[in-house]
């Protein structure tokens, strides 16, 4: 009689499986522990879903006031994401953030540190123009901050720039003062992920308070330094 060649591992595995006494199915596939990078299609489809979700919001004075949603502008694969407050008249008309006077200044600020507007990603805390351009109320900021957090997770930036107190409050709470918090790197945690964040003055504020531009310039230089340090492709 020819003795059947036995594989030692098979015997042990079979004994082990039998000892469980149930029909386990073992997958023969290795576990993928390395997260693959999201594709641009993936990111854009998540952005579309988020935009849809915001568009279907109910009982919102902002939505009732605005002509259309103002969602974002720029490059969704950018390592730099900028968050402003909310759309003004021009933004409401064109459906794009930062296209009025504050937007013109933002473009100049970016140029000053050698960044093109089209190479960053821009959005706002609220996505509809507030009546009479008033500041969004705390309840509105809180309601939209859920969307903003999701927006940040989708874009997954290496550097997050919060322009003005509304952007700061939506993510860090309302008990702090922008004059104290601006200009230093902070860590913002969303879904277990840490985002390097810089709070800085809003361009609309700088248009009213030109003497504050020196602080804004210091912050911009810090941002440029970090982009270079991290060797970000932008
Ligand atoms: N101010 C903002 O905060 N966002 C805009 O889009 C325009 C002006």
pLDDT per position as a tens digit, 77-103: 999 999 999 999 999 999 999 999 999
How many A from CA of 36 to the centre of ligand 1?
Answer: 34
How many A from CA of 227 to the centre of ligand 1?
Answer: 24
- What is the pTM assigned to this prediction? 0.86
Rounded to 5°, angle at Cα 111 from 207 and 164: 40
pLDDT per position as a tens digit, 44-73: 999 999 999 999 999 999 999 999 999 999
Domain at 57-229, CATH from 1.10.3720.10, 3.40.470.10, 3.40.50.300, 3.30.565.10 = 3.40.470.10
* Residue 88 beta carbon below 6 angstroms from any ligand 1 atom: yes
Residue 59 CA to its chain's centroid (Å): 25
pLDDT at 38: 85
* Residue 204 beta carbon below 6 angstroms from any ligand 1 atom: yes
Residue 96 alpha carbon, nearest atom of ligand 1: 6
Mean pLDDT of the chain: 92
pLDDT tier at 232, thresholds 50, 70, 90? very high
How many A from CA of 12 to the centre of ligand 1?
Answer: 66
Determine the length of the chain: 234
Q: Structural domain boundaries of the chain?
A: 57-229
Residue (of 177, 186, 151) closest to 74 by Cα position: 151
């Amino acid at each position: 009689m020819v003795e059947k060649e036995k594989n030692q591992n098979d015997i042990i595995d079979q004994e082990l499986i039998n000892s469980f006494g149930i029909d386990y199915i073992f997958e023969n596939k290795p576990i993928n522990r390395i997260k693959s990078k999201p594709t641009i299609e993936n990111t854009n489809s998540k952005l579309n879903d988020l935009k849809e979700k915001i568009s279907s919001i109910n009982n919102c004075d902002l939505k009732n006031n605005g002509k259309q949603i103002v969602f974002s502008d720029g490059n969704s694969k950018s390592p730099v994401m900028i968050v402003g407050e909310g759309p003004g008249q021009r933004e409401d008309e064109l459906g794009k953030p930062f296209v009025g006077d504050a937007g013109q200044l933002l473009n100049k600020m970016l140029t000053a540190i050698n960044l093109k507007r089209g190479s960053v990603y821009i959005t706002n805390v609220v996505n509809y123009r507030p009546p009479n351009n008033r500041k969004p109320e705390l309840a509105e900021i809180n309601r939209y901050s859920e969307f903003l957090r999701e927006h940040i997770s989708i874009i997954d930036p290496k550097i997050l720039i919060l322009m003005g107190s509304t952007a700061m409050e939506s993510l860090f709470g309302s008990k702090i003062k922008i004059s104290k918090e601006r200009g230093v790197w902070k860590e913002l945690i969303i879904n277990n992920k840490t985002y390097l964040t810089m709070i800085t003055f809003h361009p609309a504020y700088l248009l009213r308070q030109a003497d504050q531009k020196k602080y804004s310039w210091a912050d911009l230089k810090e941002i440029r330094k970090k982009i270079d340090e991290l060797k970000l492709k932008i």
